[in-house]
Chains A and B, each alone.
Chain A
Amino acid sequence: DAMVIQNPRYQVTQFGKPVTLSCSQTLNHNVMYWYQQKSSQAPKLLFHYYDKDFNNEADTPDNFQSRRPNTSFCFLDIRSPGLGDAAMYLCATSVGGSNQPQHFGDGTRLSIL
């Protein structure tokens, strides 16, 4: 089945230790998104790739970066995680822009020790 796959499902890292979360998709969608969702809060858009065009939201911390080496893969790098970065990180894809439905992966729950 075509899908959006996030690895790992659970990630534990130490305060200040860089961590990378990955997302892959078999849907061949041209847009990929990264969201951060904290408990009982709305998913918050961090950035998205429209094809190779990177779009970073103004309030996304500099600590967060992303790479999209090809259509299928997208990575979220957190350079120096702080306690406030503990959250669920959601990857989503869509074909075309925001008028189209987004399909989410299962998410990666990040814990910071």
Chain B
Amino acid sequence: QKEVEQNSGPLSVPEGAIASLNCTYSDRGSQSFFWYRQYSGKSPELIMFIYSNGDKEDGRFTAQLNKASQYVSLLIRDSQPSDSATYLCAVNFFMDTGRRALTFGSGTRLQVQP
């Protein structure tokens, strides 16, 4: 069973605060993890990816991975109203085809209040 679970939200944070977005996944053998941002009516845009346990930072964004707990998170520091979007977590699973491919969660809607 390939599952990527995210709280649908909305997660509401004030401007300048830290937003914390969480994701759990079902396949212990998953190797790569991605965060995408999707504005309403638009296509997903890659924010970050992470392969190893620990933290990975890129500007205001930090991805955190804990493979033992099957948990990946995204922190957004100094949140801006322009960060208001749906954030999709994607994990690579073995698919029916025998190849690995990404399975997406349904996303967490983030609202940053000015």
Chain A residues with CB under 8 Å of chain B are 33, 40-45, 48, 50, 55-59, 88, 90, 97-107, 109
Tell me whether B101 and A42 are in contact (CB under 8 A): no
Tell me whether B101 and A33 are in contact (CB under 8 A): yes
Chain B residues with CB under 8 Å of chain A are 4, 8, 31-32, 34, 41-46, 49, 51, 88, 92, 95-97, 99-107
Q: How many A-B residue pairs have CB under 8 A?
A: 66
Which residues in B have their C-beta under 8 angstroms from that of A56? 97
Which residues in B have their C-beta under 8 angstroms from that of A107? 42-43
Which residues in B have their C-beta under 8 angstroms from that of A101? 34, 46, 49
Tell me whether B44 and A99 are in contact (CB under 8 A): no
Contact pick for A106, options B43, B101, B107, CB 8 Å: B43
Tell me whether A98 and B46 are in contact (CB under 8 A): no
Tell me whether B96 and A43 are in contact (CB under 8 A): no
Which residues in A have their C-beta under 8 angstroms from that of B88? 42-43
Tell me whether A45 and B101 are in contact (CB under 8 A): yes
Shortest CB-to-CB span from B87 to chain A, Å, is: 12
Contact pick for A99, options B31, B95, B104, CB 8 Å: B31
Other CB < 8 Å A-B pairs besides A42-B103, A44-B104, A99-B92, 19 of them? A33-B101, A42-B105, A43-B104, A45-B95, A45-B101, A48-B99, A50-B99, A55-B95, A57-B97, A59-B96, A88-B43, A99-B51, A100-B32, A101-B34, A101-B46, A103-B46, A104-B45, A107-B42, A107-B43
